[in-house]
Amino acid sequence: MHCPETHILKKFSCRVPVRSKNLGQQPLMMMSEGYGVIVLNPNENYIEVEKPKIHVPSSSDSSDEPAEKRERKDKVSKETKKRRDFYEKYRNPQREKEMMQLYIRENGSPEEHAVYVWDHFIAQSAAENVFFVAHSYGGLAFVELMIQREADVKSKVTAVALTDSVHNVWHQEAGKTIREWMRENCCNWVSSSEPLDTSVESMLPDCPRVSAGTDRHELTSWKSFPSIFKFFTEASEAKTSSLKPALTRRSHRIKHEEL
C-alpha cells in the first residue's frame, strides 16, 4: 500500500462524458492501489452563457422614405430573420439560444490549467511522491509545466507515465536538463500492435517509448495501467533507497561502541 500522501495527477486530452466507463473506472483503479487522485480535464476551460442581445436601430427609422416603402422593407427583414432562425434551429435543434464562451481566468488553455493546478494545489500539498499520468495532449502540457516550473517539478515528482503523448521537446524548446530528467523519470506508452511493454523506436531524445498493447489511441492509458503501477512502484522504491543515509565509518564506529 502506498503512502496516503502520494498523489497522481491525471490529465485527459479531450472532452469525455462523465458516464464514460474508462473515465469513471481509472481513478477508482488508482485509489485501489493506495493513491490519492486528482483528475484534470484541461479542455473544460470555459463556460457557455447566453449571448446578450444587442438592439440595432433600423436604418429606416430616420429615413425620409415613404411609410409604405419602410413597412415593406421591415417586413422583408423580419421574414429573412425568421427563415435564418428556423435554419439555425433545424441545423442544431439543441441550441435554441445563441451562446458565447467565457474562458476561466488563468485557465484559458490546457497549458495554463496545468500550471494553475500545480501552483495552487500540487505544490502546496504535503505529498512527497507525486506521479503524473498524462494522456495525449496532456503530455505536451506536462512538458510545458516542466519548462515553467523545472526546479519545483524535479523536487516533487517521482515519475511520469505518458500515454500516446503528442509532446515534442524540440518544438517546445525543452532544455537539455529537462530532456535528461525525462529520460530518467518518464516512460511513454504508445499505441502499437506490439505486445505490452515492447520497446518502440523513438526519434526524440527524451523518455523511452514502449507499446501500450493496443493500437487504439483512446485505450492506451487503460491498457497500460498494470505496467504503469509497476513503473511507479519501482520509481518510488528507488527514490526511497537513494534517500537512505550511507553507513559511514564514523557512524559505524559509534554504533559499535554503543554495543
Q: What is the pLDDT of residues 203-229, one digit of tens each?
A: 888 899 999 999 999 999 999 999 999
Residue 223 forms part of a structural domain: yes
- Name every residue whose Cβ is closer than 8 Å to that of residue 189 and which is 6 or more positions away in sequence: 161, 162, 163, 164, 209, 210, 211, 212, 220, 221, 223, 224, 227, 228
Q: How far apart are the first and last CA of the chain?
A: 35
Are residues 130 and 90 located together in one domain of the fold? no
Domain identity same for 210 and 91: no
Residues 30 and 135 in one domain: yes
Residues 63 and 37 placed together within one structural domain of the fold: no
206 and 227 co-located in one domain: yes
Q: What is the pTM assigned to this prediction?
A: 0.67
Per-residue pLDDT at 240 = 85
Domain that holds residue 61: 52-96
For residue 89, name the pLDDT band (cuts at 50, 70, 90): low
Q: Is 135 contained in some domain?
A: yes
Domain with residue 203: its CATH number is 3.40.50.1820
pLDDT band at 30 (very low <50, low <70, confident <90, very high): low
In whole angstroms, give the CA distance from residue 201 to residue 195: 14
Mind listing the pLDDT tens digit for each residue in 104-153?
Answer: 777 778 888 899 999 999 999 888 889 999 999 999 999 999 999 999 99
The whole-number pLDDT of residue 131 equals 93
- Please choose, from the candidates 181, 173, 189, the residue with its C-alpha nearest in 3D space to the C-alpha of residue 221: 189
pLDDT reported for residue 41? 64
Can you give the length of the chain in residues? 259
Based on the fold, state whether residues 26 and 58 are members of the same structural domain.
no
Residue 101 lies inside a defined structural domain of this protein: no
The CA distance from 221 to 210, in Å, is 12
Secondary structure (DSSP) of 174-238 = --HHHHHHHHHHEEEEE--SSPTT-EE--SSSSS-EEE-S-S-GGGHHHHHHHHHHHHHHHHHHH
**Same domain assignment for residues 150 and 135:** yes
> What residues have CB less than 8 Å from 42, skipping those under 6 apart?
11, 12, 13, 107, 109, 110, 111, 113, 114, 137, 138, 141
pLDDT band at 259 (very low <50, low <70, confident <90, very high): very low
Query: What is the tens place of the pLDDT at every residue in 93-115?
Result: 555 567 777 777 777 788 888 99
Residues 164, 40 share a domain = yes
Whether residue 130 lies inside any domain: the answer is yes
What's the domain count of the chain? 2
Q: What is the pLDDT of residues 44-83, one digit of tens each?
A: 667 777 777 666 555 545 556 677 766 776 766 777 766 6
Mean pLDDT, the chain, whole residue set: 77
Residue 258 lies in a domain: no
**Do 186 and 81 reside in the same domain of the chain?**
no
Catalytically active residues, by annotation? 136
Question: Could you tell me if residue 190 is inside a domain?
Answer: yes
pLDDT recorded at residue 15: 38
Indicate whether 72 and 183 sit together in one domain.
no
Looking at the structure, tell me whether residues 236 and 160 fall in a common domain: yes
Please give the pLDDT value at position 247. Answer: 40
